[in-house]
Amino acid sequence: MKEKLEALKVEALAKLQEVMDPQVLNDLRVKYLGKKGELTEVLRGMGGLSAEERPVIGQVANQVRSAIEEIIGAKQEAFQQQETQQRLQAEKVDVTLPGRRLQQGGIHPLSRVVQEIEDIFIGMGYRVAEGPEVETDYYNFEALNLPKNHPARDMQDSFYLTDDLLMRTQTSPVQIRTMQAMNGEVPVKIICPGKVFRRDDDDATHSFQFHQIEGLVIGSNIRMSDLKGTLQQFVQEMFGPNTDIRLRPSFFPFTEPSVEVDVSCFKCGGDGCRLCKQSGWLEILGAGMVHPNVLKMGGYDPAKYSGFAFGMGVERIAMLKYGIDDIRHFYNNDMSFVKQFKGV
């Protein structure tokens, strides 16, 4: 048995010395030292030895195991050092190289305009109100003085999901929801920003999806002069202190009287240019006094309270403010377009 152990030692050391791969090293460890390894097989024959031979053979077996374990340990350490060197080489950083400049993002021009408008009206005491983009026919039309089959509905070609649900065509439903939530309390002073949807063909000035900001004020003795003063302050903060407004009679089902609101051209100062088509004025929003029927739908007595409302397209404001000639630029994800507004 002693000769078998010595032969096993010579064979194992020779093979282990030639190992160049960690997996092969592990396989040889299992082959010689595992529970079913060759050293274990040899030692199973110790049961047939005499009491005098067992200590001698046991000592030889321990020497063989120690020699095999020693070379295996040395090989494992060498492999680990080699792996560490390879990782250090692969992951090294040349600190003398110039640093990589991180790209700085910017706020999208539409988001920037929304934030600017919100800041102006919050400064005037308004709060921001929001509502769902999928609306019921009642909130989108009926509660805004547009009953079923009303001809004015044709002005808004809608995306209906069911007979009663549609993608909202305006942010006006937020006004009704807010009025009902106030339970007749005053004052109401809100702006309602958000996306709206209409089945328009995409072109330079139209999109099936765009952004609106609407405003609503309800209280005692609210007059058209209050509306004009509010809009005058807004346009001067938005477009410059010399900007003036002009009100023209119009029609909206939810306001009476209703007006279209123009601003004096901030590019030519009202003298006439390409931007204002030589008129000196730019149309930017619609407004009016809240219709008595809408007040009733919102839970307010029109004999006791009055109010005004206005609505503007964010894209329209942004296009005028930044001289953009095509609404599609906002949605085409063209980085060369968006990067222009980093420092604006």
Which residues are known binding-site members for Mg(2+)?
256
Q: Kindly give the residue spans of alpha helices, DSSP state H, lying in the chain.
A: 2-17, 22-33, 38-43, 53-91, 109-123, 137-140, 172-182, 224-239, 292-297, 314-322, 335-338
The strand ranges marked E within 198-344 are 209-219, 245-252, 255-264, 281-290, 306-313
Contact 43, 61 (CB under 8 A): yes
Closest CA to 207 of 113, 340, 337, 332: 332
Sequence-distant (6+) residues with CB within 8 A of 126 are: 189, 190, 191, 215
What does the alpha-carbon distance between residue 300 and residue 145 come to, in Å, rounded to a whole number?
Answer: 14
Strands 134-136 and 188-197 come out as unpaired
Strands 188-197 and 245-252 come out as unpaired
Which residues are known binding-site members? 256
182, burial (CB in 10 Å: exposed 0-12, middle 13-18, buried 19+): middle
CA 14 to chain centre: 64
Q: What are phi and psi of 103, to 5 degrees?
A: -70, 130
Contact 189, 223 (CB under 8 A): no
Q: What dihedral angle (degrees, nearest 10) is formed by the CA atoms of 179, 180, 182, 186?
A: 40
